[in-house]
Amino acid sequence: MWQGWSTWVVSRYEDIRSSLVDPRLRTDTIKPRLRAVGVDDNLPAIFARIDDPEHNRLRRMMARDFTWRRAEAMRPQIQELVDHVL
C-alpha cells in the first residue's frame, strides 16, 4: 500500500465495533507517520479523524439531528438525490 504501510479492510459488524475502540488504532497514533511522509497536519477535522473526548463531545452535540425519525423524514429527498446521481 501507500508508502509501504499495512492496510486492513474490516467488513464484519463485530470487527468494526472492536476496531473503533481499539487504542492501537487511534488517530493520534497515525498523525506522526503522516507528518513523516509530508501529509499536512491541517487536514479537515472529520469525525473519523477525531479521538475522544472531542469526538464524543461533538457527537453528543449533533445526536439530536441524526435520529431515526429525522432520517426517515429526509428519505424522499435522499432518494431523489441518489437517483439523480446514479
Residue 43 has a pLDDT of 61
Residue 83 has a pLDDT of 94
Q: Cell digits for 63?
A: 445526536
Q: Cell digits for 3?
A: 508508502
* Alpha-carbon torsion (24, 17, 14, 79), positive or negative: negative
Residue 63 has a pLDDT of 86
Output the CA angle 35-38-39, nearest 5 degrees: 70
> pTM here?
0.41
Q: How far from the centroid of its chain's Cα atoms is residue 20's Cα?
A: 10
| pLDDT of 18 above 60 | yes
Name residues whose C-beta falls within 8 Å of residue 3's C-beta, 6 or more positions apart in sequence.
37
Residue 5 has a pLDDT of 67
- The predicted-structure confidence for 28-86, as pLDDT tens digits, reads as follows 777 777 777 766 666 666 676 777 888 888 888 888 888 889 989 999 999 999 999 99
